[in-house]
Amino acid sequence: MENQEQEQSITDRRWEADSPALAGVSGRMRLAVGTKAVGVLVIDDGHLTLTDDERPVDVTISCATRADLVKMLRGEINLVVAALRGVVRQRGDRGFGAKVLLGLRAGSPFVHTPFDGKDA
């Protein structure tokens, strides 16, 4: 389990959506930009909730920039390429993190989500 200091949220509201590509996958993922936590993605058998709270998580995904994080949530980032180039780093259960990121790549429900209007 990983914990991290909470900073600016990725979203000012709670987003919920379904992702068939993440059916069978459940857990909690802290989202961070650099060292700053910006939200939590809760996955419950393919049902995704983007929120923020202080509860323990299975993995922390840290992106180099906010734009990278938004791309990741929208499934626009190849996990292996991003990890090799230092764009995405994982701490915690990397297997769970990989399942989520690969699932988002296959079909993200956040493709058109306007994250604070600040997304790339």
Partner 1 sequence: MSLNSVSILDGNMFVVSDRRGDIDATPTDTQGLFLDDTRFLSRWILTINGMRPNTLSVDEQAYFKVQFFEALTTGTVYVDSHLSVTRRRAVANGFKEEIEITNHDKEPIQLDIKLEAAADFADLFEVKDKLEKKGECYSKLTNGTLTLGYQREGFVRETRITPSPKGETRKDGLGFQVKLQPRSSWSVVIEVQALARLGEPEGTPGVSLSQKEVDEWVALSPRLVGSWEPLHQIYRRSLVDLAALRFRTGIVPGALPAAGLPWFMAVFGRDSLLTSFQAMPYAPELAASTLRALALFQGRVEDPFRDEEPGKILHEIRLGEMTAFEERPHSPYFGSADSTMLFLIVLEEYVRWTGDLAMARELEPQARAAIAWIDRYGDRDGDGYVEYERRNKETGLDNQCWKDSWDSIAFADGTLAPTPRATCELQGYIYDAKMRTARLARDV
Could you list the residues that contact partner 1 (CB under 8 A)?
21, 23-24, 64, 78, 80-81, 83-87, 90, 94-95, 97-99, 102-103, 105-107
Number of neighbouring beta carbons within 10 Å of residue 75: 20
Tokens describing residue 102 = 């690969």
The nearer residue to partner 1, 85 or 118, going by C-beta atoms, is 85
The nearer residue to partner 1, 17 or 64, going by C-beta atoms, is 64
User: Reduced to 3 DSSP states, what percent helix, strand and coil does the chain have, rounded to the nearest 5?
Assistant: 25, 30, 40
CB of 78 to partner 1, least distance (A): 6
The nearer residue to partner 1, 11 or 19, going by C-beta atoms, is 19
The nearer residue to partner 1, 1 or 23, going by C-beta atoms, is 23
CB of 48 to partner 1, least distance (A): 16
The distance of Cα 10 from the centroid of its chain, to the nearest Å, equals 10
CA angle 61, 12, 82 (to 5 degrees): 25
